[in-house]
């Protein structure tokens, strides 16, 4: 039996809902990927979101992939709906986590990052394209897109890809009220608030956006780790993992 990733790790994250999202348009984010687990009954269970880096590699959170056998993981690309009948999936041959020792990772950890290699090359088209990792850090007050699917255990589950507009906050001490731990000592993490530009909708689940690409101007800036709905505009609504510190290491790992 599989041991599934616990999604509601912190009670606070699992209690608050808000209005800061909308469904993504078809083909709006061609770099979007989804990590799914193939169960013994052949059913596919969505685990996490991710981003396409090239024709062979997907970037996602380590907690979404390292605990499973690569042969049980499938990657979805080119679709905004997990339930679409003609979805395109790719099987996986390796998963590489950027930490030592392997599996020594927690949800709010600098080691929570992995690249997933698919067996066959991903076919690029208008709905399937790679995204480059930016060499620039997230900027305080700048708006970014965060795209992710909801998890099946959320009370308002939907199979559609969602877009969130978020603003980066570089002072990690502001995250402490969200997660209850001292994130200011982990420089690779950053906080986000909901963007005032996003009117969103009222049908939000509390916690299911792990691995969601955080991007600006077609450059990947981070991966979402945890999220919640907002109560007021200035609330911290998500915690992300910066990718600029990993850029050279990741690019070297995906050359072959």
Pick the CATH number of 11-25+131-244 from 1.10.150.20, 2.40.30.10, 2.40.10.10, 2.60.120.10: 2.40.10.10
- Give residue-wise pLDDT tens across range 30-48: 999 999 999 988 899 999 9
Which pLDDT does position 8 carry in this prediction? 36
How does DSSP classify residue 174? G
Q: Do the strands 132-133 and 219-227 form a parallel or antiparallel pair, or are they unpaired?
A: parallel
| Neighbouring residues of 125: CB distance < 8 A, sequence distance ≥ 6 | 78
Average pLDDT over residues 206-225: 86
Q: Please state the pTM of the whole predicted model.
A: 0.84
DSSP lists the bridge partners of residue 92 as: 118
**Residues 54, 255: Cα–Cα separation, whole Å:** 9
Would you give the distance in Å from CA 202 to the centre of its chain?
21
- Give residue-wise pLDDT tens across range 131-159: 999 999 999 889 999 999 887 766 667 79
**Residues 159, 15: Cα–Cα separation, whole Å:** 21
Instruction: Give the torsion through C-alpha atoms of 76, 79, 83, 86, to 10 deg.
Output: -90
How does DSSP classify residue 179? H
Contact indicator for 13, 236 with CB cutoff of 8 Å? no
**Residues 18, 87: Cα–Cα separation, whole Å:** 30
User: Among 50-64, 151-165, 213-227, which stretch is predicted with the lowest mean pLDDT?
Assistant: 151-165
Pick the CATH number of 32-130+246-253 from 1.20.120.80, 1.10.510.10, 2.40.10.10, 1.25.40.10: 2.40.10.10
Q: Residue 234's pLDDT band (boundaries 50, 70, 90)?
A: low
Average pLDDT over residues 44-57: 95
Contact indicator for 56, 254 with CB cutoff of 8 Å? yes
Which pLDDT does position 101 carry in this prediction? 40
Among 4-8, 24-28, 49-53, 242-246, name the most confident range.
49-53
User: Among 15-24, 158-167, 213-222, 239-248, which stretch is predicted with the lowest mean pLDDT?
Assistant: 15-24
- Residues forming CATH 2.40.10.10 domain(s) in the chain: 11-25+131-244, 32-130+246-253
Which pLDDT does position 197 carry in this prediction? 60
Which pLDDT does position 87 carry in this prediction? 95
Which pLDDT does position 179 carry in this prediction? 52
Backbone CA torsion sign across 49, 54, 56, 57: negative
**Phi, psi dihedrals of residue 153, rounded to the nearest 5°:** -85, -5
Residue 152: Cβ-neighbour burial (10 angstroms; 0-12, 13-18, 19+):
middle
Angle ∠(140,145,147) on CA atoms, nearest 5: 135
**How many helices (H) and strands (E) are present in the chain, helices listed first?**
2, 14
Q: Is the peptide bond before 114 cis (omega within 30 degrees of 0)?
A: no
Contact indicator for 205, 151 with CB cutoff of 8 Å? yes
Tell me how far CA of residue 165 lies from CA of 134, 145, 147, in angstroms.
Answer: 18, 5, 9
């Amino acid at each position: 039996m599989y041991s599934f990733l616990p999604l509601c790790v912190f009670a606070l994250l699992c209690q608050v809902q808000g209005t800061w999202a909308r469904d993504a348009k078809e083909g709006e984010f061609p770099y979007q990927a989804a990590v799914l687990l193939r169960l013994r009954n052949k059913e596919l269970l969505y685990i996490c979101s991710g981003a396409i880096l090239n024709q062979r590699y997907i970037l996602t959170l380590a907690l979404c992939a390292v605990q499973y056998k690569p042969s049980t993981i499938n990657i979805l690309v080119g679709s905004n709906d997990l339930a679409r009948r003609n979805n395109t999936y790719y099987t996986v041959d390796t998963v590489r986590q950027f930490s030592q020792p392997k599996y020594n990772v927690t949800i709010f950890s600098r080691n929570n990052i992995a690249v997933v290699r698919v067996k066959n090359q991903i076919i690029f088209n208008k709905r399937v394209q790679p995204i480059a990792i930016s060499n620039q850090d997230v900027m305080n007050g700048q708006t970014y897109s965060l795209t992710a699917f909801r998890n099946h255990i959320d009370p308002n589950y939907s199979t559609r890809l969602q877009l969130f507009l978020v603003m980066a906050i570089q002072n990690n001490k502001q995250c402490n009220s969200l997660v209850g731990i001292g994130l200011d000592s982990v420089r690779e993490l950053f906080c986000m608030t909901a963007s005032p530009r996003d009117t969103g909708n009222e049908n939000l689940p509390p916690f299911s956006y792990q691995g969601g690409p955080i991007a600006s101007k077609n450059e990947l800036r981070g991966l979402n780790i945890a999220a919640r709905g907002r109560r007021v505009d200035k609330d911290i609504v998500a915690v992300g993992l910066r990718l600029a510190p990993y850029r050279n290491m990741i690019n070297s790992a995906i050359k072959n």
